Chain A
Amino acid sequence: DSGVTQTPKHLITATGQRVTLRCSPRSGDLSVYWYQQSLDQGLQFLIQYYNGEERAKGNILERFSAQQFPDLHSELNLSSLELGDSALYFCASSRSWADGELFFGEGSRLTVL
């Protein structure tokens, strides 16, 4: 158990809908990362937050947004969902913004029908 909690574990929804994925980092970790893992593209970095601030941004679509709250949990919002958004979404946390080590949650499996 990495100490990183993600909910929900599975989610099935329809195209055009909006979903929110939630992540609670390990106790004491200030930085949260979101990754998308799809079959054909491997693990893709979406975004990093540190203590509530956005610190790094990857190939995150404009339809996606994220935030980190004062209690350090983070949410990833996916809107106007398309079939291609079906993937495993991982949250990871680290102690600082340059810690060099990530601890991953178990992921949220999103299926868009």
Chain B
Amino acid sequence: AQTVTQSQPEMSVQEAETVTLSCTYDTSENNYYLFWYKQPPSRQMILVIRQEAYKQQNATENRFSVNFQKAAKSFSLKISDSQLGDTAMYFCAFMKHVNNYGQNFVFGPGTRLSVLP
């Protein structure tokens, strides 16, 4: 079974600093997608960034970037120039196809990030 592990339940960072959130996953599949979602206090789940496993280049979205290590099954998120609005719960997620006509996202337990002024 696929699992997603986030070993840091809580983290904090000073405004304008850089922080890295860790994620590891376990799968026997070769083709899959990885995602980071954020859930601010408003509780809305918002996509931060996605990575296709077949792509070697790490995905980047403005201040957000990932370090994807396929062999190590590691998918960390780096937030640069942290802003107060980045305060949220961050979920790492793994997407797998099911029975060749469905898909399921498996989410990690989340990391609560606090950006301090």
Contact = CB atoms under 8 A, between A and B. Distances in A.
Interface string A94-113: 10011111111011000000
Query: For the side of the interface on B, what is the size category?
Result: 20 to 34
Interface stretch (B18-26, B63-71, B78-86, B107-115): B107-115
Interface stretch (A17-25, A48-56, A62-70, A78-86): A48-56
A55 B102 contact: yes
Contact of B97 (A58, A88, A98, A102): A98
Tell me what chain A mostly uses at the interface: helix, strand, loop, or mixed: strand
Interface residues of A, number: 25
Contact of B91 (A33, A43, A98, A103): A43
A97 B95 CA distance: 12
Contacts of B45: 90, 92, 102, 104
Contact of A45 (B91, B101, B106): B106
A100 B95 contact: yes
Interface in B52-103: 52, 91, 95, 97-99, 101-103
18 contacts: A2-B46, A33-B105, A43-B91, A48-B102, A50-B102, A55-B101, A58-B104, A88-B43, A98-B97, A98-B103, A99-B103, A100-B33, A100-B50, A100-B52, A104-B37, A104-B45, A104-B46, A107-B43
Interface of B: 33, 35, 37, 42-47, 50, 52, 91, 95, 97-99, 101-110
The 3 residue pairs across chains A and B that have the minimum distance between CB atoms: A56-B102, A55-B102, A104-B45
